[in-house]
Amino acid sequence: MQRTVKKRTWTLDIGANPLADGTCFKVWAPDAKQAEVVLFDGGREETFALDRDDQGYRTTTASGVMAGARYKYRIDGQLYPDPAARALPEGIHGNAQVVDPHTFRWSDQNWNGIRLDQLVIYELHIGTFTPEGTFDAAIERLDAVKELGVTAVEVMPIASFPGARNWGYDGVGLYAPASCYGGPEGLRRFVDAAHARELGVILDAVYNHFGPEGNYLPALTGGRFFTSRRKTAWGDAINYDGDDSAPVRHFMIQNALHWAHEYHVDGLRLDATHAIGDESPVHLVQEIARELHALAPPRIVIAEDERNDRRLLLPESQGGYGLDGVWADDLHHQLRRLVAGDNEGYFRAFSGSIEDVASTLRKGWFYEGQHSVETNAPRGTPAGGLPRPGIGCTTPFRCRCIAPRPRCC
């Protein structure tokens, strides 16, 4: 599918953004009676008052504050890390750090992105991929990955999380690559090195929930970032479609764009999109895809979604979301039932028979509206007629296909 690509300039407009002679700080704290940014320099503190705008954003430009400065927000007397900090070198509870995203010297000027019809993905976890568990150590193994015939690596979530060992799915510092992996500069070196080897980089992004530890957004936003109208496995859902949802959506869409612009990633794999509750005219996932597809080169957007919903893959002109692919778990579950005999949880909804494995491979996913014993309800929609760009995958510890192309592992 041909897309109209518009070149545009982009700058992150929340968090801490260095200027020529200082840093602009901006945080959404709509209910705060008093809001300040506090700069820490050794044992010395410097405080700047934050002005309120009509949307409840608090902003100031701190003259003389440059990249490397450590800071927190003080909201009604309590100190909090910046939820949009680009770096949290002291951990998710510590001081944030001002980062200049434009000082890194990229060498990928001739990189033109990844082609969907040649995409073969290797999923890796930075913390377990090498004994060191860092971006720099992972660079040393990219040649071996390339030799497998892989064209892109999918990096499991790297947003800052509690502790030093974590799968990444309870991140809270969504703009801050985990310091234990090497922080912002480590991620940039990794992406640059991958592109030098003609490997794309897809980043696993979690927009359906925040982890429970270190999530200061409820305190900063007066609870407006979340809504009790919906519940998830992790508590109140993120407020994507209720009152005051515009700054929430902006926070997430800017996050997706910041990975593309500031880190040159080639696409996002969106975690558990079925758990993103949004009844807006344009769903958050659809809006993220629009924004990333409009870049030059266009970035790809893949959803992990258990519903087998063809709407995710249909173009917007046909009422769909226009995504490039979906992680379809059905093949993984069929094979686990066949090879390992797993029959608990969602595995019990699959037979693991050779016939059903073959059917899943042919169709791209197995459930197309049949009754599922797991949910005691019909599951899925037909995969027939969906675009088939020719996507494959390989992963060191699990096998999943991107529907609708049944060509995996």
pLDDT for 55-84, tens place per residue?
A: 999 999 999 999 999 999 999 999 999 999
| Spatial CA neighbour of 33 closest among 49, 14, 45 | 49
Residue 155: strand pairing partners:
124, 203
The CA-CA-CA angle for residues 274, 14, 70, to 5°, reads 115
CATH number of 15-97: 2.60.40.10
Question: Alpha helix locations (H) across 25-158?
Answer: 126-129, 135-139, 142-147
* Residue 329 CB neighbour total at 10 angstroms: 22
> Residue 406: its pLDDT value, please?
34
Bridge pairing between strands 267-270 and 200-205: parallel
Residue 403 has pLDDT above 90, yes or no: no
CATH number of 116-403: 3.20.20.80
3-state secondary structure of 268: strand
Encode pLDDT of 263-307 as tens digits.
999 999 999 999 999 999 999 999 999 999 999 999 999 999 999
Contact yes or no for 230/236 (Cβ under 8 A): yes
Which among 304, 305, 324, 329 is annotated as catalytic? 304
Contact yes or no for 75/66 (Cβ under 8 A): no
> Residue 388: its pLDDT value, please?
66
> Residue 407: its pLDDT value, please?
32
46 belongs to the catalytic site: no
Distance CA 309, CA 328 (A): 10
Arithmetic mean of pLDDT over the chain: 92
- Is 0.85 surpassed by the pTM of this model? yes
Residue 6 has pLDDT above 80, yes or no: no
Encode pLDDT of 254-271 as tens digits.
999 999 999 999 999 999
Residue 2 has pLDDT above 60, yes or no: no
271 belongs to the catalytic site: yes
Distance CA 214, CA 108 (A): 35
Bridge pairing between strands 35-41 and 70-75: antiparallel
Q: What tokens does 19 get?
A: 């200027």
Domain ranges of the chain: 15-97, 116-403
Largest CA distance in the chain: 70
Contact yes or no for 315/22 (Cβ under 8 A): no
Segment 134-141 long-range contacts (CB within 8 Å, at least 24 positions apart)? 134/180, 134/181, 134/182, 134/186, 135/177, 135/181, 135/182, 135/186, 135/187, 135/189, 135/190, 136/182, 136/186, 136/189, 136/190, 138/190, 139/189, 139/190, 139/193, 139/194
Which among 271, 278, 291, 324 is annotated as catalytic? 271
